[in-house]
Each structure stands twice: as C-alpha cells, then as structure tokens.
Amino acid sequence: MKKKAPYLFAWLCLALCSACKKNNPEKLVGHPLAIGANEVTEANFTIENTFTNPLIPRGADPWVTQKNGIYYFMYTQGSKLVLYKTSAMTELALATPHDAWIPPQGMPYSKNIWAPELHEIDNKWYIYFAADNGTNANHRMYVVENSSADPTQGSWALKGKVADSSDQWAIDGTVFKHNGQMYMLWSGGNAGAAPQRIYIARMSNPWTITGAKVAISSPTYSWEMNGNAINEGPQVIVNPDGRLFIVYSGSGYWVDTYCLGLLSLNPNGDPMNPADWVKTSTPVFSMNADSGAFGPGHNGFFKSPDGTEDWLIYHARSAAGGGARNARIQRFTWKTDGTPDFGVPVKIGSFVQKPSGEPVRKMYTKENWSIAGFSSEELNNSRLAIRIIDDDSSTVWIARYSAPATSYPDHWIAVDMGDTLAVDGFVFIQKSGDRKIKELQILAGNDNQNWENLGTAELLNLHPNKQYFNLPARKHFRYFKLVPVSGLDSQPQPGLAEAGTFIIDN
C-alpha cells in the first residue's frame, strides 16, 4: 500500500490541475488558449508589431494631441471640425469620427475650414482653425472652446476670431507657451496672395492676440518658392534640452516638392525678435519618389505611448502630379547639435516598427484552418473561398459574379479554426481593385450552426494595409462567419483578401 501512495498522490495532483484549467479558461498561464484537447503554444502565433503607411487614405493637414494615453486626431475636412480618438496611432483607421463643431450657414467662418488643431489650455479644450465665407481672400483664424474633460464629449462654443489689429488673411494657426508667455503662430499674406510669411504674436488668453504681429520667416530659398512663395503650417517642437524650434512647410502644397523647413530660436532668444530665429538653408524633410512620398508637409508631433520616442505625423501624396493627401507617421531622433533628424519619408507599404508601448498582437497561424462553408465563390481566376485564409493578400475570395451571379445581401463565408480558441479580435485585408467590402458583420460559434453576433466592422479602402476589429472582451469559439453587408462601390459581389484572429499580448 505504501508503494502505491506516491502514484495516487501524483494522480490526484494531475486531476486537480486539470480541473482548474477547465474551470478557469480565462487564466492564460503559459498561453493555454484552446478550450479543446490541444493547447495553443507560441508556435501557433506570429507576432504583429509593425504597421505600414499611409495610416488612412486621407488626412490633409494632420494634427495630433495626446492626453492620458489617448490620441486625438484632426485633419482638414472643409465644412466642419471632426475629432478621432484612439489609444494607438497605428490603428487610426479604426477610430470613430466625432463631429465636434459644425458652423452655422451664412457666417464669415462657415466655409473652407482648414488645418484644425486641438489644444488643452488651463483645463479647457480649444480648436483653432482657419475659415472664410466662401472667398479665400477672407480667410481668418477662429477658435472654439469646450470645458469637458474629454473633447469628444460636451459642447463646443465659438469664442470668436483670433486676429491682430491688422486683421489680414491668416491660416494654419497654432499656439504655444514659452517662459510663461503664450504665443500664436500662423501663416499670413495679402488676401492669400504670395508671399506667405510666418507671423508670431503674444496672446493674453487663448482667444485674444495682444500687441503687433511680427514676421519671423519669409520664403527666400528656391525650395520655398515652388508653385508659389509660401511659408505655412508652423509647428513648435522643443528638444530634450529645452531648445525651441519651429518646423514649417515650404512651397505650394499642390506641388511634389512641398517640404519641411526649420527655424531655430537662439539660446535665450526672444521669440518676438526675428533676428533670434535662424533658418536652415535646406529642407529637413522632402519628397522621395522611391518612398511614394510626394509633397510631404504640414506636420505635427507626438510621443509614443510609453513616452520614450518622438514621432512625426505629416501628409503626402502617393503618386506624382496630384491626388489625395494621406496621413503618415514615422519616428525621428535628434542630431548632436540638438536639431531634429527626420530622415527620409518611409516607403509606403513597408513594415515599420510600432511606437513603443502600443499593444502587440499575436496572430493565430492558419495551418489547421479550413473553410466551413460559403454562399458562393468565383471559379474564374481561382477566386475561391479558401483564398481568404492562405496568408497571401494578392489572392482573394470573391462571391460569384459569373452565371448564376449573386448579390448583396446574400453573401457569407464561414471559417473553422480547427479548435476552440481565445480571441481578442479580427484582422482583415481588403482586396485590390473593386468589389471591396464596406460593412462586414462578424458572427462566432462552436458548432457552425448557432451564431453569436459580435458586431459589424467598418472597413476602409486600405489595401494592402491590415485593418483590425477589436472585441470589447475576449471570446472563445471555433468557427467565425463573415457576412458582407455593403460595399465601397456599386459592384454587387464582395471580395476579401485575408481574414484572421488574434490575441493581444499586454
């Protein structure tokens, strides 16, 4: 009997451990994420810690401010002020737009709303913007105020026009404090005609300029005069030693050679004294055709979530000769002389390390996955259902458009992950070309018959970028079903390049 006791004790311990695992599936010690017989190990994941530019297919005049781990993003939308809120800048495409302020019609500030910027000043939020009545010559700076802790909540009230006594054409306003004094910077000219200069003035409060303006930069170099003689989009940055710089945009935004220039304030210099500002003779960030960065400019700055890295946000066009401006980000460092080193624009579509402190996703590998069912597939050109889980974004599933054709809303496709897994969210890659999905309903289940609705993903035209759909809480299931609800164009048969699932590694 004594010889059998150790074996009996070991068997009891094993049984107790097994019972604990069954009763506590959310305790993911050692990553036992499968509820079935097979445990998930590190070999079942690929690490997702990179992103690609552009972040979104739009984003002229981008601006970012951050507070308490949240980033607030804005860009020029022309008719209103819109805020986007996210905890990860690389996932900006997932952010929900919040209409902050829509101007009444028939006012001097009702149209052509440009370059909005959100600032927190003395525990209140302010958005500065340029606007006119439909005539560019009437562009002036305005500001709205919100006392809510969250700028996407509460209401915004117009504080009025922000102008010096000359009340001349003005755009691209920004504010900053230096040695306790508040200043405003902007780009101004003669009714919008060249040359556009960068002006500075003191402020007595967030909506009032006091005293005369001073021009601290005028377009003097050839790289500031392409398209037109323009200095605009001034942005303040302070280096780790406390030295003050202004990064601005030179030339016309519509030309491929639009770029960034740099002004440096002399040590102990007076921001109101033009002689205390030194302009760098060459651009500090400029066009790179190999990177698909044409007309890079109108920038902003932000920190990584853990505060250890400096990041640049800017807009550029992906092709020469025009087109939409899109928002992009990349990390920058500091040179030994204390000036910022922006490097060259990162190539669109290339993999870039995420900002330090952003969540890292562990993507489930798909070796054991299979298609559990589908409404239809396009046999021509092998656009089959299996293509959405083959880890190749160049191959796609398309619902059948040859005879007999199918149409919204009768499409669906189901995937079997091979075991019941813990899932924090989904990842999708749009196909190239047309027939992209706009709204995609996501369902999950354990028997390929009974389904729980997990919500509807709003997909953007971002091929080949990955788009994420985060679940509010971790779910366990074996099957998921995708039901296209609407498309981004008029084609009635949807297509998708890739679909997958992940857990978040905190």
Distance CA 69, CA 243 (A): 25
Sheet holding 294-303, edge to edge: 294-303, 310-317, 325-334, 340-341
CB 400 within 8 A of CB 406: yes
Distance CA 285, CA 329 (A): 13
Q: Identify the CA nearest to 258 among candidates 290, 217, 299, 291.
A: 299
Distance CA 397, CA 245 (A): 51
Sheet holding 70-74, edge to edge: 63-67, 70-74, 81-86, 97-101
The C-alpha angle 279, 62, 306, rounded to 5 degrees, equals 90
Q: Which of 48, 61, 164, 310 is catalytic?
A: 61
Query: What are all long-range contacts of 299-304, with beta carbons under 8 Å and residues at least 24 apart?
Result: 299/62, 299/233, 299/235, 299/247, 299/249, 299/260, 300/62, 300/63, 300/64, 300/235, 301/64, 301/235, 301/237, 302/64, 302/65, 302/66, 302/71, 302/89, 303/66, 304/331, 304/355, 304/356, 304/357, 304/358
Number of continuous H segments (helices) and E segments (strands) in the chain:
1, 32
- Concerning whether 61 is annotated as a catalytic residue, the answer is yes
Distance CA 228, CA 249 (A): 12
Beta bridge partners of 330: 312
Distance CA 89, CA 66 (A): 10
Alpha helix (H) ranges present in 251-378? none
Residue recorded with tokens 């189901």: 414
Distance CA 77, CA 281 (A): 33
Q: Identify the CA nearest to 74 among candidates 313, 274, 347.
A: 313
Q: Which of 232, 358, 377, 498 is catalytic?
A: 232
Q: How many residues does the chain have?
A: 506
CB 133 within 8 A of CB 154: no
Exposed e or buried b per residue across 52-87, where buried means at least 16 C-beta atoms within 10 angstroms of its C-beta: bbbbbbbbbbbbbbbeeeebbbbbbbeeebbbbebb
- Concerning whether 256 is annotated as a catalytic residue, the answer is no
Distance CA 352, CA 90 (A): 10
Catalytic machinery residues: 61, 232
